[in-house]
Amino acid sequence: MADIIVPELAESITEGEIVRWVKNVGDTVEKGEFIVELETDKVNAEIISEEAGVLVEILAQEGDVVEVGAVIAKVDPNGTASAPAAAPAKEEAPVKEATPAPAKEEAPKAAPAAPVVEETTANGRVIASPAARKLAREKGIDLGAINPVDPQGRVRVQDVAAHNPAAQQAPAQTQAAAPTPKATPAADESRVEVVKMTRRQKTAANRLLEVSQGTAMLTTFNEIDMTNVMALRKRKKDAFMEKHDGTKLGFMSFFTKAVTAALKAYPAVNAKIVGEEIHYNKFFDVGIAVSTPDGLVVPNVRDTDRKNFAEIEGDIADLAVKARNKKLALSDLEGGSFTITNGGVFGSLMSTPIINGDQAAILGMHNIVQRPIAVNGEVEVRPMMYVALSYDHRIINGKESVGFLKMVKELIENPEDLLLEA
């Protein structure tokens, strides 16, 4: 018998939610065949079977949260699809249906004594780690009676270990009364639409909160006169597109190259805190935020210090297409050292972007607006952009942050110098 195990997808991913089973019990599977889809915090992963045979058992259902290394199904290499479909299915089906029936009837009677482990509540299946389920079974604890510490309601081993069975009756009464307040807003359903957050939305929300609470985040601002770079782009865009097989010359490549040059000059902006150490990255993988129907994702353009404008523009275009088609791989999303986000495409004039993950800083671009400014003592109307650098003050001091942003400004305002940096 071969186990189907949740594989280690990436260092930062410890669990995922089963979205759908492609194969059913009794189906034939080939070695390397895609049998179940798993939604992780970053991307959806296709889990394959390492053995050919027949899928004889599914241990985790759609909607279950499973940890890396957990066994979620079993494949019999010696089985055949016809055998389980003929004899066992007809004989075992009544037995399987007869067994749960009394359990559902006895569960309410046995609940006060809690001798039977329940894995479902009135609101649906309890979300719990496999280790927590195992410990709950061993202790004879109803998972539905546990109040987890996790704000998402996931029951972990620590919750089971800390659960006090003597206080089980009181929570039961509280839970019984819980549906009443939830039912109250039902009368106002015409005014409120309730939509469950996706796993990725919950993860993004938690991580943004963690960054806000776990860093000494500060934001510094500047403004950039886009006159020269816009003029250069206008002069060169047609020749650039013709030379590079239709690749368009956008502003993102200019900002990516400017950021890369500034990261070299200010290494602290390209660093991160790991425990009690500061790790100064010697690589330059710049994340470019991309908006998709499922939310914002940040794939990385690798080695921007070694790439020219055309290569950067090509990478950005390819990653944007993959992001919108949900084809990004974990390798596209991991390991970035700095991030650029452009709220200007949506009309944002100014904002304070939140640092991405464990990075030290993020650059926010904004809308280009014609504004009157003083030029050599005269008032002129110029295309201006506000830029913002949010940074972790634990690593980057004020001088470094202002110097970094000022260098980006000067390079964009003098694109010929930027070309020399390339």
DSSP-derived pairing of the beta strands 338-342 and 286-288: parallel
Q: Within 215-250, where are the H helices?
A: 227-243
Q: Is there a contact between 126 and 147 (Cβ–Cβ < 8 Å)?
A: no
DSSP labels, 262-322:
HHHH-GGGGEEEETTEEEE--S--EEE-EEETTEEE--EE--TTS--HHHHHHHHHHHHHH
Q: Which of these is catalytic: 256, 304, 339, 341?
A: 341
393 is catalytic: yes
- Residue 187 φ then ψ, to 5°: -65, -20
Q: Which of 80, 174, 198, 393 is catalytic?
A: 393
Phi, psi values for residue 143, rounded to 5°: -60, -30
Helix (H) or strand (E) holding 218: strand 217-225
376's CB contacts (< 8 A; 6+ apart) are none
| Amino acid, single-letter form, for residue 102 | P
Residue-level length of the chain: 422
CA–CA separation, 105 and 315 (whole Å)? 59
Are 256 and 286 a contacting pair, CB within 8 Å?
A: yes
Is 341 part of the annotated catalytic residue set?
yes
3-class SS of residue 345: helix
Task: Give catalytic residue positions.
Answer: 341, 393
